[in-house]
Amino acid sequence: MASATIDIETWERAPQFRLFRPYARPHYAVTVRQDVTRLIEIRKPQGVSVYRACLFAIGAGLDAVPALKQSFEGDVVTQHDAVSMSMTVPRPDGTYGLGYLPFDASFDRFDKMAQQRIARVRDDTDFQPFAAVEGAVAYVSCLPWFDFTSLDQAVRDAEDCIPRVACGKIVPEGDRWRMAMSVQVHHALVDGAHLGPFFDTVQATLNEV
């Protein structure tokens, strides 16, 4: 997987990057409600895992937006061409582990890989919070216990530029099924205009998976 250093002097977002880099709290989060009706009423009865399908849709959204595949260290910004998801996996003892899952545009290949990696993490005892991955990384959490309207996630410090995505409880709304989805990002890299295509791609993928 390739990555390239962005030339700050010619980068169109350099002014915004320089503006938000010194902020003490440069992170912000956006929550939207995604329509998962087809997934719940058609695909789930066919045996498709709702969780793995949501992971696939999130991966497609991240992959579609170059800004969500960027990272920085100091003032050096890197553009990655691929993204992996650090996903939470519940364990029988009530704790959870972390699995690392690269995105694959083929749902069948992705689903098979996700199933294998989730099973491996569920049966393991190591936590592995900082496993080495190629390309960009995004943290993905599932919160099926509540239908949240906003979410603020933990970050290490102002230098933490890893996107965080969380899914909430799936609930009925009229004749549809909805699910809250939150994305938390670093404003030095990601603007609101970048999150629109992310949510649009996630929704389109949920409609088609």
Domain-located, residue 137: yes
Domain count, the chain: 1
Domain-located, residue 163: yes
User: For residue 96, what are the domain limits?
Assistant: 27-208
pLDDT higher at 47 or 131: 47
Q: pLDDT digit string (tens) for 7-20?
A: 999 999 999 999 99
Q: What is the CATH number of the domain that holds 152?
A: 3.30.559.10
Nearest Cα residue to 98 out of 66, 135, 137, 127? 127
Q: Return the pLDDT at 129.
A: 61
Q: Return the pLDDT at 2.
A: 82
Domain-located, residue 72: yes
Domain-located, residue 3: no
Domain-located, residue 1: no
Domain-located, residue 7: no
pTM of this structure: 0.94
Q: pLDDT digit string (tens) for 53-97?
A: 999 999 999 999 999 999 999 999 999 999 999 999 988 888 888
Q: Which residues of 158-176 are buried (b: 16+ CB within 10 A; e: fewer)?
A: beebebbbbbbebeeeeee
Domain-located, residue 177: yes
Q: pLDDT digit string (tens) for 107-118?
A: 999 999 999 999
Percentage above 90 pLDDT, the chain: 85
Domain-located, residue 4: no
